[in-house]
Amino acid sequence: MSEVRRAPSPVIPVIGLILGIAGALVANYTLDSLADTSDTWHQIQHGTFFVAGIFVGYAVTMLYRYFRKSA
């Protein structure tokens, strides 16, 4: 008996993409005025950009792989 493998759903990567974009927007607009006040907030802003980039990179890679297999 062979098992049928289902393709993974693109829902998780889409959520990651939305969270990554939202994180970048928060870092760019909300944390910008705080980042000007102290070095700690500036580093938090950089960290938020970094984490947002990880989310977007993972999501784009997974979506590419999902649609590449479907074609």
For residue 5, being part of any structural domain is answered with no
1: tokens are 């008996």
For residue 2, being part of any structural domain is answered with no
For residue 6, being part of any structural domain is answered with no
Show the domain range for 48: 11-70
Has residue 1 got a pLDDT over 60?
no
Query: Is the Cα torsion angle 34, 36, 37, 38 positive or negative in sign?
Result: positive
Name every residue whose Cβ is closer than 8 Å to that of residue 69 and which is 6 or more positions away in sequence.
7
Domain tally for the chain? 1
- What pLDDT digit, counting tens, does each position of 3-54 carry? 777 767 889 999 999 999 999 999 999 999 999 999 999 999 999 999 999 9
For residue 54, being part of any structural domain is answered with yes
In angstroms, the CA 38 to CA 41 distance is 6
- What pLDDT digit, counting tens, does each position of 30-42 carry? 999 999 999 999 9
Mean pLDDT value across residues 52-71: 88
Helix runs in 1-71, H state only: 11-25, 31-35, 39-70
The per-residue pLDDT for 69 is: 66
